[in-house]
Amino acid sequence: MTELQLLTWARGTGLNIALSIFVLGVIWRLVEIYGLGRKQDLAPARHRDGASGWNTILRRSLAPPGLFKRSPITYIGGYVFHLGLAIVVFLFAPHIKLIQGLVGLSWPGLPSQLIDLVTVVTLAALLVVLWDRIVKPVKRYLSNFEDWITWLVTFLPVLTGYLAVKHLFLPYTTLLALHILSAELLLVVLPFTKLFHAFTSFGSRWYNGAINGHRGVPT
Q: No. of H helices and E strands in the chain?
A: 10, 0
Contact 4, 180 (CB under 8 A): no
145 Rama class: left (phi>0) / alpha (psi -120 to 50) / beta: alpha
Euclidean distance between CA atoms 20 and 134, whole angstroms: 34
Euclidean distance between CA atoms 93 and 175, whole angstroms: 18
Quick check: 104 binds other proteins (CB under 8 A)? no
Closest distance of CB 121 from other proteins, Å: 20
CA dihedral 190, 193, 198, 202 (to 10 degrees): 140
Contact 127, 166 (CB under 8 A): no
Euclidean distance between CA atoms 147 and 134, whole angstroms: 11
Among the candidate windows 93-101, 119-127, 152-160, 182-190, which touches other proteins by CB under 8 A?
93-101
Quick check: 131 binds other proteins (CB under 8 A)? no
Among the candidate windows 44-52, 120-128, 155-163, 182-190, which touches other proteins by CB under 8 A?
44-52
Closest CA relative to residue 88, chosen from 147, 153, 154, 152: 154
Quick check: 11 binds other proteins (CB under 8 A)? yes
Binding-residue pattern over the window 22 to 41 for other proteins, x denoting contact by CB under 8 A = -xxxxxxxxxxxxxxxxx-x
| Interface of this chain with other proteins, residues 179 to 208, rule: CB under 8 A | 192, 194, 196-197, 200-201, 203-208
Pick from 112, 114, 131, 134: which binds other proteins (CB under 8 A)?
Answer: 112
Binding-residue pattern over the window 49 to 78 for other proteins, x denoting contact by CB under 8 A = -------xx--xx--xxxx--xx--x---x
Among the candidate windows 90-98, 120-128, 153-161, 181-189, which touches other proteins by CB under 8 A?
90-98
Pick from 120, 143, 145, 183: which binds other proteins (CB under 8 A)?
Answer: 143
